[in-house]
Amino acid sequence: MKALLKRTISTWHMGESVKDIVCYWLPELISAMILITLPPIVDSYIISNSQTATAYGALAMATNFMHTLIKFAEALPVAAIAIIGRFNGAGNYERCGEELSNTFWTTLLLGFTQLAIISVSATAIYQWLGVPPEMAAIGAPFLRLKSFGVLLIFVSLSFIGFMRGIKNTRIPMMLNLLGISTFIFFDYALVLGKYGFPRMDLNGSAIATILQYGVMNIAAIAYILLNPDYKKYFKATFFSIFDFKRAWHLLNLSWPIMLDKTSFALAYVWLSKLLADMGTYAITTYDVVKNIERFAFVPAMAFAQVVTFLVSNRLGAQDPKGASSTIKKVLMLTFTAVGACLLFACFNAEMLIGLFDPKKNYTALGAAVLPAISFLVFFDCLQVILAGALRGAGDVKSVMWGRALSCLFFFLPVSYFLSTLTIESHALRFILIYGCHYLNAGVMGAIFFFRIMSHKWQKKEI
């Protein structure tokens, strides 16, 4: 440990400076808040305060499933960031533009595929989750409509991935601000029937998502095509460029990311299935606690995006020591930022949970479990930053195998075993089942840490 600390101090001047990291991080933080955190929080607040607990439970279950699809959608852009970052760092700008085209067409195809699958299996998904029949009846049509919004999310991530790969985090932030503004307005107007719009209840939320990402895609295309600084990236309009071999290479680099991101995201779906046996209030408690912790976790998600393209660019410039130093700085900043957010959430647990529980049906349960689970979130911080660093180096299979093996041989059996125990205390049972998710993150973090220490990730070719 002393030797590790000594090496950290001696290499602190290498890589990106703390100031530069924070400058890249702030736009990503805002983007992550408005893209990942605000929509479910706003949605949950409106639905929980205007609809029944059954409708809120249907939303919570669909949100967990949608989260998995979005994580699947992120795989191609993450791989593209690693590729584009390498070429951008090496000054090969036209190749960066070609990779945007390949990412766009591939994500569009995958988006249509998930849309077709969800359209025919929405009811079966709710039945498998084990929710009450009335909840499934409300949730299935909502899930089908929401999947069209996911198609548009797939496309938007290809544009945002390109911009991040060339170290532009400001425009993705502005696109997300535009999108969340659109979503909040139409979510409020369509769910509740305000400003002359028809009252559409839960389905209004899905339409708001479609409008959100439709507007974002139009704005992203306009910016890329009209920005004179981007002309060096395109010898032709990116819509007209497609290289099957390069697209196949992108898929080969992406499928491990798809597996590792979806395997980890499916843990939330699995948890919702296990907790559904505890009743509707356990489902709603899970959604509220998860949303609060995701909000506290936003700094880590933003730093994970940053470390991916910073490591990619550093390795592209043949600076592996700088990449290692950058990872250490990002970890330090992540633990500090997330720790401050978690402390605030724990000290204000009843107030925060009460915002989503006007009748105080599950506030006591949520306030009891939040502090215990929050302590385990630091395991998630470690794994998400190290996973982002490995992806930036193109070492995506290490992340895939680490997450897949951990989920398969630790999380699934242990969480299922805990769910079968007869425990009278709802709070204790909730903590044991939900906390298993973060212990699983700790196992992943240990795997990624040993991979980082081996330095083999620095020699990966993309």
126, 60 Cβ separation under 8 angstroms: no
Residue 456: strand, helix, or coil? helix
pLDDT in tens, 84-106: 777 776 677 777 777 777 788 88
Q: Which residues, including other chains, have CB under 8 Å from residue 244's CB and lie 6 or more apart?
A: none
* pTM of the entire predicted model: 0.70
**Which span out of 11-15, 49-53, 152-156 was modeled with the highest average pLDDT?**
152-156
State both tokens at 415. Answer: 């969480």
Burial of 360 (0-12, 13-18, 19+ CB in 10 A): exposed
398, 451 Cβ separation under 8 angstroms: yes
* Structural domain spans, the chain: 2-459
- In whole angstroms, give the CA distance from residue 331 to residue 324: 11
Is the pLDDT reported for residue 292 higher than 80?
Answer: yes
Q: What is the pLDDT of residue 1?
A: 47
Q: What is the pLDDT of residue 238?
A: 59
pLDDT in tens, 129-183: 877 788 888 888 888 888 888 889 888 888 887 887 777 778 888 888 898 899 8
pLDDT band at 212, cuts 50/70/90?
very high
For residue 347, count other CB atoms closer than 10 A to its CB: 11
Is the pLDDT reported for residue 408 higher than 80?
Answer: yes
Task: Mark out the alpha helices in 227-319 (DSSP H runs).
Answer: 244-276, 280-316
Sign of CA dihedral 386, 392, 395, 401: positive
Nearest to 39 by CA among 200, 208, 191, 172: 208
Burial of 123 (0-12, 13-18, 19+ CB in 10 A): middle
pLDDT in tens, 409-457: 999 999 999 988 888 888 899 999 999 989 999 999 999 988 888 867 6
Is the pLDDT reported for residue 462 higher than 60?
Answer: no
- In whole angstroms, give the CA distance from residue 206 to residue 421: 37
Is the pLDDT reported for residue 203 higher than 80?
Answer: yes
Is the pLDDT reported for residue 317 higher than 60?
Answer: yes
Residue appearing with tokens 């949303």: 291
Is the pLDDT reported for residue 356 higher than 50?
Answer: yes
